[in-house]
Amino acid sequence: MPQTITEKILASHSGRDVVEPGELVNGRIDLVMCHEVTTPPAITMMKSIGVEKVFDPSKIVVTPDHFVPNKDIQSALLAKILRQWVEQQGIEHYYEIGRHGICHALLPEMGHILPGTTVIGADSHSCTYGAFGCFSTGIGSTDLAAALATGELWFKIPASMKIVVEGTIPPGVFSKDIILEVIRQIGVDGARYMAMEWVGSTIDALSMESRMTLTNMAVEAGAKSGVIAPDAVTFEYLQQKPHSKNKSFAPVYSDADAVYARTVEIQVDRMEPMVALPHLPSNGVGVSRVAQDSITLDQAYIGSCTNARIEDLRIAAQVLKGRHVARNCRTMVVPATTSIYNQALREGLFEIFTDAGCAISTPTCGACLGGYMGVLAEGERCISTTNRNFVGRMGHPKSEVFLASPATVAASAIEGKIADPRKYL
pLDDT at 292: 82
For residues 249-283, one letter each, b for 16 or more C-beta atoms within 10 angstroms of the residue's C-beta and e for the rest, the string is: bebbbbeeebbbeeebebebeebbbbbbbbbbbbb
Cis peptide before 35 (omega within 30 of 0): no
Q: Which amino acid is at 49?
A: I
Q: Nearest CA to 227 among 179, 175, 160?
A: 160
Q: Average pLDDT for residues 365-391, to the nearest whole number?
A: 95
pLDDT at 99: 94
pLDDT at 57: 97
pLDDT in tens, 29-43: 999 999 999 999 999
Residue 293 has pLDDT above 90, yes or no: no
Give 294's pLDDT tier (boundaries 50, 70, 90): confident
- Beta-carbon count within 10 A of 398 CB: 12
Contact 140, 121 (CB under 8 A): no
Contact 215, 126 (CB under 8 A): no
What residues does 301 pair with on adjacent strands? Answer: 332, 384
Q: Please count the CA atoms within 13 angstroms of the CA of 214 that sit on its side-chain side.
A: 30
The conformational region for residue 395 under phi > 0 = left, psi -120 to 50 = alpha, else beta, is left
Higher pLDDT, 246 or 106: 106
Please provide the distance, in angstroms rounded to a whole number, between the alpha carbons at the two ends of the chain. 49
Cα-based distances in Å from 247 to 12, 53, 267: 19, 26, 36
Domains assigned to the chain? 5-246+260-266 (3.30.499.10), 275-424 (3.30.499.10)
pLDDT at 291: 85
Dump strand ranges (E) for 244-283.
262-267, 274-276
As a whole-number percent, the residues of the chain with pLDDT over 90 amount to: 97
Give 246's pLDDT tier (boundaries 50, 70, 90): confident
Those residues with Cβ within 8 angstroms of residue 178's Cβ, 6 or more apart along the chain or in another chain: 165, 169, 202, 214, 266, 268, 271
Contact 104, 125 (CB under 8 A): yes
pLDDT at 268: 97
pLDDT in tens, 61-99: 999 999 999 999 999 999 999 999 999 999 999 999 999
pLDDT at 265: 97
pLDDT in tens, 128-168: 999 999 999 999 999 999 999 999 999 999 999 999 999 99
3-state helix, strand, coil in the chain (%, to 5): 35, 20, 45
* 149 vs 126: CA distance, rounded Å: 19
Q: Average pLDDT for residues 169-190, to the nearest whole number?
A: 97
* SS3 state at 361: coil
Q: Where are the alpha helices (DSSP H) in 1-95?
A: 5-12, 39-48, 73-89
* SS3 state at 367: helix
* 195 vs 7: CA distance, rounded Å: 9
Of the listed ranges 138-142, 356-360, 364-368, the least confidently predicted one is 364-368
- For the chain, the average pLDDT equals 97
